[in-house]
Structure 1
Amino acid sequence: MAFFLKFILISIILIWVFRVLIRMIFPAVLRNAFSNVQNQANANQQQRTSNSKPEGSISIDYMPKKEKKGNADKLGDFVDYEEVK
């Protein structure tokens, strides 16, 4: 019986300590994570504005090669038809 009461008491104390630590640590971790994300977003924004071209200019970085679909002679014969109703 004493073992059971000791176990319950220790469990309640551990859970209480864990909750208190989580309430202290979790907001600080979230604050740090959000500030890191915000700093990265600001750095990306500054990089985009410094590398941006003047308004109205067009640049093409990559243009895929167009495949030739074949010659019209190789496609076969075209047969006219009339629709019969």
Structure 2
Amino acid sequence: MGLLKFLFIAIAVLWLVRIVFRLIFPWAMRKMAQKVMDNAQQPYQQRNAPYRNHGTRQPDGKIRIDYVPPQNQSKGAKKAGEFVEFEEIKPSAE
């Protein structure tokens, strides 16, 4: 009797797991595919972000700077000493 009861419960649990899996698995796969597609599109959306507002114009007389390059101040050229200009003289073919 105990073996029959165990088999009945095991079959019922497996049957319920199968039904739940059939309902949840497609939904989970759609969510995962959507997340992968969003992650794949994200670099392209960030790269094209400055061009999204191409229809809006800045008022005349206003300047907008998007990028300011860093200032490289090399003090080595100032301390190098004086430079002498020279001309290269090619030897004449005799």
Q: TM-score range by the shorter chain?
A: 0.5 to 0.7
Cα offset, 1:15, TM superposition: 0.4
Report % sequence identity. 34
**What are structure 2's unaligned runs of at least 5 residues?**
51-94
Q: How does 1:40-79 map to 2 (within 5 A)?
A: 40-50=39-49
Residue deviations 1:19-60 (CA, integer Å, cap 9, x gap): 111111111111001101111111112223448xxxxxxxxx
Structure 1 CA distance, aligned partners of 2:8 and 2:46? 57
Q: How does 1:25-36 map to 2 (within 5 A)?
A: 25-36=24-35
More helix by share: 1
Aligned-residue CA RMSD in angstroms? 1.5
Structure 1 CA distance, aligned partners of 2:24 and 2:2? 32
Q: How does 1:18-29 map to 2 (within 5 A)?
A: 18-29=17-28
**What are structure 1's unaligned runs of at least 5 residues?**
52-85
Kindly name which structure, 1 or 2, has the bigger radius of gyration based on alpha carbons. Answer: 2
Write out the 4+ residue segments of structure 1 that deviate beyond 3 Å after TM superposition.
48-51
Matched length:
50
User: TM-score, with normalisation over the residues of structure 2?
Assistant: 0.48
